[in-house]
Amino acid sequence: DAGVTQSPTHLIKTRGQQVTLRCSPKSGHDTVSWYQQALGQGPQFIFQYYEEEERQRGNFPDRFSGHQFPNYSSELNVNALLLGDSALYLCASSSLAGGREQYFGPGTRLTVT
């Protein structure tokens, strides 16, 4: 049983560019949450998707947007990249009808230069 997978592993972008990160949830999970983790900090909640809708959102600007597909996989898009967007982006999946424990993927390390 594959766990949560994310792609790509690493990414280097230039300030002002746009980026798309991808996540496939654990088998049986229907909910995907995205987090940003800066170096030396805990993960910060960006948003959560369920049934292809954004269910909850943290304190992140509209430059951060997402999408969930019918197969429950998800994308995180960040527009107009800033140097401060450099971080580890984590995807977590869970089952809304189940125990709601969130299981994380390995993350995508984004570097903005």
Q: How many degrees, rounded to 5, is the angle at CA 88 between CA 86 and CA 90?
A: 135
Contact between 91 and 74 under an 8 Å Cβ cutoff? The reply is: yes
The count of residues in the chain is: 113
CA–CA–CA angle 23, 26, 85 (5° rounding): 30
105 touches other proteins by CB under 8 A:
yes
Based on the shown chain and the rule CB under 8 A, indicate whether residue 74 belongs to the binding site for other proteins: no
Q: Is 66 in the site for other proteins (CB under 8 A)?
A: no
Q: Are strands 5-7 and 19-24 parallel, antiparallel or unpaired?
A: antiparallel
Q: Which is nearer to other proteins, 79 or 101 (CB)?
A: 101
Q: Is 104 in the site for other proteins (CB under 8 A)?
A: yes
Token pair recorded at residue 97: 């009808």
Does 107 interact with other proteins (rule: CB under 8 A)? yes
Residue 68 binds other proteins (CB under 8 A): no
Show contacts with other proteins in window 84-103 (CB under 8 A): 88, 90, 99-103
Size of the site for other proteins (CB under 8 A): 26
14: left (phi over 0), alpha (psi -120 to 50) or beta: beta
The least CB distance from residue 104 to other proteins, in Å, is: 4
For other proteins, the binding residues (CB under 8 A) are 4, 6, 33, 35, 40-45, 48, 55-56, 58, 88, 90, 99-107, 109
